[in-house]
Structure 1
Amino acid sequence: MLRIMYGKSTPTATNAPEIIVMHKMLKRFLMVMRPGAFLVDRYPILKYVPGYTTELEEWRREESQVFHDQLDRVSRELATGKAGPSFARYLLENQSSHKLSDDEMVYLAGSLFGVGLDTTAVAIMSVVMASACYPKAQEKVQEQLDIVVGRDRAPTFDDYNSLPQIEAFMLECLRWRPVTPLGFAHLASADIVYKGMCIPEGAAVFGNHWAISRDPSVYPDPEQFDPERWLNSEGKIRDDLKFPSFGFGRRICPGRHIANRSVFINAALLLWSFKITQDPENPIDQMGFADGVVAHPKPFSARFQPRFGDEGSLRNVMAKYGEGL
């Protein structure tokens, strides 16, 4: 995400100041987004009480400074001809056409970086968990990978449309264990009458992803992990079945395409490279997720066995990965 957004990479997250501070801000964000986390959510008049929002304002200033620093760095690199490809560079080079202010660009790039850093990682962990817990579903994905990709090269983004089994596996992971079980708050901009009930203007509304994912009229046997539910009789992704993994309407996640592609390439490379199984001595708790706006899996064990027979063969293929792309 750091490279995509700002054209910068780091060998380890533990020593990267941008990632360290972002994780700190993400913890604050997840706390603030919990329904009723602050009394001001229920009693808006409190925002006029002197000093009440001091802490929140300090958090906002710190967040703004981090995001501004990143965009400013890319701007300096752009001026000296040292900027590599990145979303921030694209924003800066096209500001006159997209007409975003500096603050809007700062928060667009910063928000995508922060949210992608967290939610996409959670989605990939769910892919690993499901692979270990449902070996038959994993095998179907690997059968298609062997047919389409083979063993002489690794899968790439060019294989996306030829690997519906992986897309179905991804879609089922996002339904089976929603990344944001409750979704994010929306605001009713007017009184809404729904099934005889009035949702008053100004009310906070949550599209409960967990409840939607468990609707048996849409997803039969909803507790069962079944990627095949997303495929039609021709083995292609159904266009009549959806799940709101990225939210709704105007406020739908702007980074959903990046997230989907990121989860796809990680899932494809992992399942092409390894057979993932549970550790018999440490079985996976499939309901082991931390309570929160984003459902982080609790630590679990999984075994990765190279599908090439030995680690050396896998390393030889991956050493050439990206050549000619």
Structure 2
Amino acid sequence: MPSLIVVGAGIIICAGILIHHFFGSKARIPQDAKLPPGPPGLPVLGTLLDIPPQHSWLKFKSWADQYGPIFRLDVFGRNIVVVSSEKIANDLLRERGNLYSSREQLPMAAQLMSRNLRPLFLPYGELWRRGRKVMHSMTMHAAATSYRPVQVHESERLLYDLLKAPDKYESAFERYAGAVVMRLGYGKTIETGDEPYVRDALRVVRNVERVASPGSYLVDTFPVLMCLPTWLAPFKREAARLHQFEMALFRQLLLEVRERMNVKKAPDCFMRTFLERQAEFGLSDDEGAYVVGTLFEAGTGTTAAAMMSFVLAMCLSPKWQKKIQQELDRVVGDARMPDFDDMPALPTVRAVAKEVLRWRPVTAGGVPHELVKDDVYEGHFFPAGTNVHANQWAIHRDPELYPDPETFNPERWLSPQYPTYRAPLSKFPNLQNFSAFGFGRRICPGMNIAENSLHLLVARMAWGVHVSKRPGIEIPLYDYTAGFNVQPKPFVFDLRARNELRKALIEQTWENNKPPGP
């Protein structure tokens, strides 16, 4: 039986290659335009074998250095354009958003696992717009401000957890991010981070990141494999299991809120808002369940990953930890923790947070946008169906915008000598519309909530604790996980309270404010 599967798959793949190569239609290029340059690749397969299965953005950056800020890849007939300039990315993905806001319907992640329900992978259309309206109503700036008490409370727990068990820093950051989004999304309180619904939700997040990673599944490169019957296609059986698992979780969370609403015991949360306005939003239960579930997915791994990169940056650039500590000592002092009201007076804190996202973007390769209609930009022709990758890794290393880009340097946001400086420093730098959150109509919907979390956590960690390299142990400069969103692999460092007064205040604050035990 395995041999039959291999032979059958091989025949279908070969047939697909030949059909595409010999009978595929050629794009009609206007006379005054041309296709972008790029690596030549192989006949039929194109650059398929040249793209590394992990951290492809590093290879894309080297190609950008060779071919320029716009280059083209042919991956078995799939037309891919990689953009390595923030200006070009904004020109295309924001200014021409009506053309560049769709998504390629990758078979495994979008069609099989998500069943065309997950907003992240939905094509640009009516269903996506209705879901986006729901997310916007819940995450716009005014709404995000009302969520600050939840973030303050959970940050108190985070500092307490880090002092008690600094070696479990990954779990502490994940618990913070998960607790904030679970409270906001479903009105549920996370006590330990080991609750079944929390473990299940994080499992869904990791499944999405794994399945959506470029090159993870052969069917995404050779969609003709979708023609295989399920008994010959193990990827279809896996996708069915993954969809069943996440659908059951999302439905359960929705039904729990509905049941609590029926007895008038449902707290304010995203899901309650959706259910109260469901007719207005025009979404079914399953569609709404995926919309709110997507907000959880967007808010957990990304915030935790950014904070792990913050710790890495402070270990490798201790002078900037000292600078934000000095700013906090001057503005806040010993007697209390920093709060949101302090942020206008903490430009260095905000600059460090922004530089972390520039230096080590969480979604380093960006999420590709699909072009829905032929377009020409600066003499380059892009046929409909082109997938445009705004390569955040390269964009954040554009030397014209970010001089000496490999250096972690928050000064680029604080000093007029840098092109990224903006005034007044009571407002800037901030994370509004920052390229780390994507571009145009597909920009991360949870950007405002993420900004509040990152500013508060950077400020409170720098105020309360000191991190440093452990003597005799080297920390790699770039040793990150593979996947859709990336974070530093576990590394060893030292963490201690900055002084006994602040340690006591952290412990006392959490003991006074933590939820009562069972």
Q: TM-score, normalised by structure 1?
A: 0.89
Alpha carbons 1:153, 1:317 under 8 Å: kept: no
CA change 1:313–1:30 in 2 (3 A) is closer
What is aligned with 2:444? Answer: 253
SS in 1 for 2:495: strand
CA change 1:145–1:299 in 2 (3 A) is same
Equivalent of 2:380, from 191, 197, 207?
Answer: 197
Report whether the alignment pairs 1:279 with 2:470: yes
In structure 1, distance between residues paired with 2:430 and 2:497: 34
CA change 1:172–1:316 in 2 (3 A) is same
Q: CA deviation at 1:299?
A: 0.6
In structure 1, distance between residues paired with 2:497 and 2:362: 28
What is aligned with 1:28? Answer: 207
Of residues 256-265 and 194-203 in structure 1, the stretch that sits farther from structure 2 once superposed is 194-203
What is aligned with 2:182? Answer: 2
What is aligned with 2:133? Answer: none
Name structure 2 gaps, 5 residues minimum.
Answer: 1-180, 417-422
Post-superposition CA distance 1:256-310 (Å, at most 9, x none):
1111111222212111101221111323222121222211211112222212335
Matches within 5 A, 1:179-190: 179-190=362-373
What is aligned with 1:153? Answer: 336
Q: CA deviation at 1:220?
A: 0.2
Q: CA deviation at 1:167?
A: 1.2
What is aligned with 2:191? Answer: 11
In structure 1, distance between residues paired with 2:186 and 2:433: 32
Which has the higher Rg, Structure 1 or Structure 2?
2
Alpha carbons 1:33, 1:184 under 8 Å: kept: no
Equivalent of 2:507, from 309, 315, 325?
Answer: 315
What is aligned with 2:256? Answer: 73
Paired letter, 1:38: Y
What is aligned with 2:223? Answer: 44
Post-superposition CA distance 1:207-235 (Å, at most 9, x none):
11101111101100001101111124567
In structure 1, distance between residues paired with 2:340 and 2:364: 28
In structure 2, distance between residues paired with 1:93 and 1:56: 32
In structure 2, distance between residues paired with 1:239 and 1:71: 34
SS in 1 for 2:466: strand
Q: CA deviation at 1:120?
A: 1.0
Post-superposition CA distance 1:52-81 (Å, at most 9, x none):
434323322321221111111111112222
Alpha carbons 2:309, 2:356 under 8 Å: kept: yes
What is aligned with 1:114? Answer: 297
Of residues 97-106 and 288-297 in structure 1, the stretch that sits farther from structure 2 once superposed is 97-106
In structure 2, distance between residues paired with 1:248 and 1:28: 24
CA change 1:57–1:203 in 2 (3 A) is farther
Of residues 93-102 and 175-184 in structure 1, the stretch that sits farther from structure 2 once superposed is 93-102
What is aligned with 2:410? Answer: 227
Q: CA deviation at 1:122?
A: 0.2
What is aligned with 2:347? Answer: 164
Q: CA deviation at 1:318?
A: 5.1
* RMSD of Structure 2 on Structure 1 (CA): 2.5
Of residues 119-128 and 197-206 in structure 1, the stretch that sits farther from structure 2 once superposed is 197-206
Paired letter, 1:150: G
Report whether the alignment pairs 1:270 with 2:453: no
In structure 1, distance between residues paired with 2:295 and 2:210: 18
In structure 2, distance between residues paired with 1:18 and 1:240: 31
In structure 2, distance between residues paired with 1:303 and 1:7: 35
What is aligned with 1:293? Answer: 484
Alpha carbons 2:306, 2:487 under 8 Å: kept: no
Count of matched residue positions in the alignment of Structure 1 and Structure 2: 321
CA change 1:45–1:240 in 2 (3 A) is closer
Of residues 20-29 and 262-271 in structure 1, the stretch that sits farther from structure 2 once superposed is 20-29
SS in 1 for 2:467: strand
